[in-house]
Amino acid sequence: MNNVYAVSVVGPGALGCLFAGKLAKAGFRVHLIDYQQERINRLSKNGIEIIEGDQTEKYHVHVTGHIPTMQNLIIILVKSYSTANLTLPPDTPILTLQNGLGNVETLCKKTGAENILAGVTTEASTLIEEGKVRHTASGLTTFGSWTTASVKEPLEILERAGFWVEITDSPSQVIWEKTAVNAGINPLTAILNVPNGMLLKIREARELLRELVIEASKVAGTEGYRFSRSLVEVAEEVCEKTANNISSMLQDIRAGKRTEIDSISGEIFRRGTSAFLTTPRTKLVYQLVRSLEQREIA
Ligand code: PAF
């Protein structure tokens, strides 16, 4: 149990910094992977900081532009629109905890399904500034093997780093569940410029939240997914538990960055269309968030 594992975390965003810092704290050899050379230099020099309550801890991890060989695990936490640009080493377990649909399929094409583990995390982290995050709430990380990759070592690595982990036999199901919830909360908070909890307080927003999650659940149904609990109730529960959080999509809009709307609402309405199912509200919020992105960037 005293193995010093080598772990690469790809993406220096809110969750990437959180995972890299926690893994470094557990004593693993951690590489944080970024594609911007100037940011690599700054993060190498300054380290990463994690704020939890009134405690701040600083970690120095190796920050590089490419994933080194001989890694025990690679954790992908880049925005979904960057998945297609990744260069991945062969024969290495890769765990994606990214938002949205389509990431796994893209990774499988690059490296083979046998290396892929996939899932979701409800860890809540806010990027305050480059390399500095606030861990706003601990959450559950749920993942499983996409086809034949072993979950044993990745599970040990994450648990030793202090993450609360659950293994699932159906990673695609948990990804759909999270995406359906995100399809309600993320675009609405981004469009209305409100924290998650406000969606429950505004009657019309709450109605829209329900309708968006129902549209997403129906599309999931066309792909054969059935859910044991109402995803509308799950979405409302998430809003309640994360009432003061600024959703990742609103964080992106406020920072003038591209959002993950394409892999969330975009994928849902496209998949719906392929299955002859219309998702008018999903399409509308997709169009509005795309417009906001361009307004912010212009
Ligand atoms: O993307 C996010 O911000 C989170 O997944 C969620 C659940 C909406 C909470 O803020």
3-state secondary structure the chain: CCCCCEEEEECCCHHHHHHHHHHHHCCCEEEEECCCHHHHHHHHHHCEEEEECCEEEEECCEEECCCCCCCCEEEECCCHHHHHHCCCCCCCCEEECCCCCCHHHHHHHHHCHHHEEEEEECCEEEEEECCEEEEEECCEEEEEECCCCCCHHHHHHHHHCCCEEEECCCHHHHHHHHHHHHHHHHHHHHHHCCCCCHHHHCHHHHHHHHHHHHHHHHHHHHCCCCCCCCHHHHHHHHHHHCCCCCCHHHHHHHCCCCCCCHHHHHHHHHHHHHCCCCCHHHHHHHHHHHHHHHHHHC
Ligand 1 pocket, mutate which of 196, 240, 253 (most atoms under 8 A from CB): 196
pLDDT of residue 297: 55
**Which has the closest alpha carbon to 17: 59, 74, 46?**
59
Tracing tokens 């109605």 back to the chain, one arrives at 207
pLDDT of residue 287: 98
Nearest alpha carbon, ligand 1 atom 10: 247
pLDDT of residue 132: 96
Q: Tell me, what amino acid is at 85?
A: N
Q: Which atom of ligand 1 is nearest to the CA of 260?
A: 1
Q: pLDDT digit string (tens) for 4-28?
A: 899 999 999 999 999 999 999 999 9
pTM here?
Answer: 0.94
Length of the chain in residues, anyone?
A: 298
pLDDT of residue 295: 86
Who lines ligand 1 at CB under 6 A? Answer: 99, 182, 185-186, 196, 238, 242, 245, 247-248
* CB atoms closer than 10 angstroms to residue 97: 24
How many whole angstroms from 70 Cα to the centroid of ligand 1? Answer: 33
Nearest alpha carbon, ligand 1 atom 3: 247
pLDDT of residue 298: 52
Q: Which atom of ligand 1 is nearest to the CA of 186?
A: 8
Which residue numbers in the chain have pLDDT < 70? 1-2, 296-298
Q: Tell me, what amino acid is at 290?
A: R
The rounded distance, in Å, linking the Cα atoms of 292 and 298 is 10
pLDDT of residue 2: 59
